[in-house]
Amino acid sequence: MDRCPCRGCGAGIMPLAPIAQMDLETFDRIQRVNVRGTFVIDQLAARQVRNGGAIINFSTTITRLQAPTYGAYAASKGAVEAMSLILARELRGRDVTVNAVAPGPTATPLFFEGKSQEAIDHIASLNPMERLGTPADIAEVTAFLAGPGRWVNGQTIYANGGAA
């Protein structure tokens, strides 16, 4: 997926290539969408969120797995994790939480793109639950952070079935 179809939701793009072979235009596009996009959304949210609200960003378990060809994508999501912690600290005194959810392999069009069924099955078998995550799995973690998880702040929550 080269573009986020929703334009401005904080979703990302994930072109893959070894660091030594990725062209700078692709690298810059990944950073522009994944980092700048999150920055703009966070900036607007910080200005408008009510006291007691929650801001939730999205990272990826790839920042821990550090798989080959994911360097530019992992770098962009590492930046999202850093921004989340810093924004949580900047919003001190407002009772606003800022966290990041880092999904593992999740059954979405972005995950399936360009992968053979054999590769998908292999990736699904790597975590102790032996399956891909579902959007509902990620939604549960997100809902927790948006609701009852009021004491969780400035954290990255890895929702990956135990993969890392």
Average pLDDT over residues 52-72: 95
Our answer to whether residue 73 is catalytic in this structure is: yes
How many residues are there in the chain?
164
Residue 95 DSSP code: T
The predicted model scores a pTM of 0.89
Residue 25 placed within a domain: yes
Average pLDDT over residues 68-72: 95
Rounded CA gap, 99 and 163, in Å? 20
Residue 148 placed within a domain: yes
Residue 6 placed within a domain: no
Residue 7 placed within a domain: no
Q: What is the pLDDT of residues 111-127, one digit of tens each?
A: 898 899 999 999 999 99
Q: Which position among 27, 70, 73, 158 bears the catalytic label?
A: 73
Q: What is the domain range of residue 61?
A: 19-159
Q: Check if the beta carbon of residue 58 is closer than 8 Å to that of residue 80.
A: yes
- Domain holding 60: CATH number? 3.40.50.720
Residue 9 placed within a domain: no
Q: What is the pLDDT of residues 96-152, one digit of tens each?
A: 999 999 999 999 988 898 899 999 999 999 999 999 999 999 999 999 999 999 999
Residue 2 placed within a domain: no
Q: Check if the beta carbon of residue 73 is closer than 8 Å to that of residue 22.
A: no
Residue 67 placed within a domain: yes
Residue 1 placed within a domain: no
Question: What pLDDT, on the 0 to 100 scale, is given for residue 11?
Answer: 63
State the total domains in the chain. 1
